[in-house]
Structure 1
Amino acid sequence: MDIVRLVTSKLNVEDITNEIASPSCGAISLFVGTTRDTFEDRKVVQLEYEAYEEMAQKSMKNLCCQIRDKWSIKNISIHHRLGIVPVKEASVVIAVASPHRAESLKAVEFAINELKASVPIWKKEVYEVHDPEWKENKECSWKKC
């Protein structure tokens, strides 16, 4: 089972984990990306995410296929939040269930790195004092041009 979602509501890690749990799996690995309160000595008050939603969902589904080509995985869930994400709240949750831990751990690391490199989701950092800034992921494939 592959689940990909773009949502504007708060992400619930427990619900996402339960969604992919399987009696045939001994491992569920998670990556939870949260809004931190500082960037380069600037106080961050929130992040704002935008996406080309149709393309982002297609890219996230393709990412699930790539993971399945590399590892023996039972279930994958990739949730990304859009809109405003306050400090300490999750903007992305990736959960992978597999029979054994090695595959799920490798898959989660691959998934977050590939998501940042290829999925058209954009982040704006909003600061307490400075002007907001759109941020480009250093992993972006389109940055190499």
Structure 2
Amino acid sequence: MESERDMYRQFQDWCLRTYGDSGKTKTVTRKKYERIVQLLNGSESSSTDNAKFKFWVKSKGFQLGQPDEVRGGGGCAKQVLYVPVKTTDGVGVDEKLSLRRVAVVEDFFDIIYSMHVETGPNGEQIRKHAGQKRTYKAIQKNV
């Protein structure tokens, strides 16, 4: 059986090639995430180098939310980043904007792995499958 570290390495390589800095607004790399947060907090100084990036951030409508609670103790609360998306009422008639949390590509493995592998009472790894809907809800909650 492949180790978690091997799976992580393969998944991260694939994930960064597939989702990293591709311009998608609901997924960004950690580096881009931090830069967006700095820009929205006003801590990134203006320059001609970042004008295009500032325009992109503004055009996508990124917004900061309340920081997450500190996980694992001792760490800093992570600033939450949202982007507006169009949603419909199910019939497709009434469109409205809602905010969706932006996912950090480098966090995908930990979230998905936790939904598919559980540590048993003796430290053994038990495979489980949470199903697509529960996995998606966990990603939305934990990103």
| TM-score when normalising by structure 1 | 0.29
Bigger proportion of residues as helix: 2
Q: TM-score, normalised by structure 2?
A: 0.29
Larger Rg belongs to: 2
